[in-house]
Amino acid sequence: MSGAREEVLARLRAARDAGAPRGGVPPVPRGYHRSGSLAPGSAQVLDLLVERVEDYRARVLRAGSDDEVAGAVARCLDEAGSRRVVVPADLAPGWRPRTGEREVVEEHPGSPLAVAELDDLDAVVTGSTVAIALTGTIVLAGGGPGQGRRALTLVPDHHVCVVRAADVVETVPEALARLDPSVPLTFVSGPSATSDIELDRVEGVHGPRRLDVVVLR
């Protein structure tokens, strides 16, 4: 295989020089917005996030305190009929649903649930790392606080995700600047969807079919 490596690199080096632009390569113009006009965590940026997330037909609830988060999470779970719930072990205790009849399973990094076990659960409750208001996107960092590993937010059919105001930025560049590329990242914009049949959008395919977002001011 090293033969292939050397050959491909040799071809590309020759091609790089043969096709080099006569005028050189100009510097990258960065005239696009690298930051937004709305301050991170501001009321306006939260409003924009809510509007854009709802546009994907995800549900958004607002909370003013950890207690209200716990209440909102419980409401989301109840309305969906999600009784068996998994949470990453480090999910903020205050965000866990305290009311209603349900089984809450904790996943610890050292003892992951089998995929089949995850598949038996109805819902997952997590935190998030960053949210992008302009695009209605929530970013989960694998192993990040209260976010668990990737499979946790993928296999259960219902994802309840808590977004803290301070983590909400307006634009994509602001979000990327806050992210650590060395951990696995998942950018979530609404529930899973497909437009593969006549470009007719259907929400809910393989990923969680229901996404509820609780925004904590």
Site for another protein in 133-172 (CB under 8 A): 134-137, 142-143, 149-151, 154-155, 172
Q: Is the CB of residue 150 less than 8 Å from the CB of residue 186?
A: yes
Close Cβ partners of 2 (under 8 Å, ≥ 6 residues apart):
none
Give me the residues paired with residue 32 across strands.
none
From 15-23, 69-77, 88-96, 122-130, span contacting another protein (CB under 8 A): 15-23
| Residue (of 216, 213, 136, 124) closest to 175 by Cα position | 136
**How far is Cα 121 from Cα 114, in angstroms, rounded to an integer?**
11
Give me the residues paired with residue 39 across strands.
none
Q: Cβ closer to another protein: 128 or 137?
A: 137
Query: Does 98 sit near another protein (CB under 8 A)?
Result: no
Q: End-to-end alpha-carbon separation of the chain, Å?
A: 55
In the range 101-140, which residues lie near another protein by CB under 8 A? 109, 112, 115-116, 119, 132, 134-137
Among 13, 44, 51, 64, binds another protein (CB under 8 A): 13
Q: Cβ closer to another protein: 22 or 101?
A: 22
Among 14, 39, 89, 166, binds another protein (CB under 8 A): 14
Q: Cβ closer to another protein: 20 or 166?
A: 20
| Residue (of 120, 137, 138, 116) closest to 129 by Cα position | 138
Query: Does 202 sit near another protein (CB under 8 A)?
Result: yes
- Give the position of tokens 């996107």: 137
Query: Does 47 sit near another protein (CB under 8 A)?
Result: no
Among 73, 208, 210, 212, binds another protein (CB under 8 A): 208
Q: Cβ closer to another protein: 101 or 200?
A: 200
Among 48, 52, 124, 169, binds another protein (CB under 8 A): 52
Q: Cβ closer to another protein: 9 or 166?
A: 9
| Residue (of 86, 89, 97) closest to 143 by Cα position | 89
Pairing type for strands 137-141 and 130-132 reads antiparallel
